[in-house]
Amino acid sequence: MLIRTTAPASLATLLLPGVLSHLHLDADDGEVLPKVKAAVGALDGPKGRLRRCLLTQTWRLVLDAFPMEPEPLRLPLPPVASVAGITYADADGATQTLPTSDYQVLGIGSDEASVIPARGKAWPQVVPWPETVKVDFVTGYGTTSDSLPEPIVEAVKQLAAHLYVNRQAVDLTSMSEIPLGIRDLLAPYRVFV
């Protein structure tokens, strides 16, 4: 399974004013935005701690084949908003688009979105070759920072502020990893795979 973004989001610039306010700063001194980007990067997308998308983004899931029925085709990176399209290489190797009437998307907006064949349909035969099935899907909480759950926004603010104030991963005065409160804010939103 491969997953690639086809339309990345820029959440850091949307959250910058809130982080500046959190730090009691009037303007970015050139050091805050990189910390906000690092905080967002630590949480967002398939490599982020949450394994979910924060702002609306378009992603492509690339598979070697459709799943064996009755297994659903599970979509990563919740909350999935929609499936934009499914393409595949048929038994002759020609690229085909699966009609939307041939599949059903389940669990939109949840942590467990998936795609199954429509009633009376089956997954088409594909050429036995890597990367033959491509699923384009839209995922994320929305297009503005206001659409994000408040605990995630607060965690980004705290992490970015921590990175700005403490340039080290460990507080040298107490020799402990900080900030632990961020884990508690994010725990309900983490997806385990």
Residue 134 sits in the same domain as residue 179: no
pLDDT for position 65: 96
pLDDT for position 1: 74
> Is residue 114 assigned to a domain?
yes
pLDDT tens-place string over residues 61-76: 999 999 998 899 999 9
pLDDT tens-place string over residues 66-119: 999 889 999 999 999 999 999 999 999 999 999 999 999 999 999 999 999 999
Alpha-carbon span 191 to 77, nearest angstrom: 8
Token reading at 169: 């991963």
* Residue 136 in this model has a pLDDT that exceeds 80: yes
> Is residue 50 assigned to a domain?
no
> Is residue 167 assigned to a domain?
yes
Q: Note the pTM of the prediction, 2 decimals.
A: 0.85
- Burial class for 81, CB neighbours closer than 10 Å (0-12, 13-18, 19+): buried
pLDDT tens-place string over residues 21-68: 999 999 999 999 999 998 998 899 888 889 999 999 999 999 999 999
Token reading at 40: 């967002």
pLDDT for position 172: 64
From 102, 120, 139, give the residue that closes a domain: 139
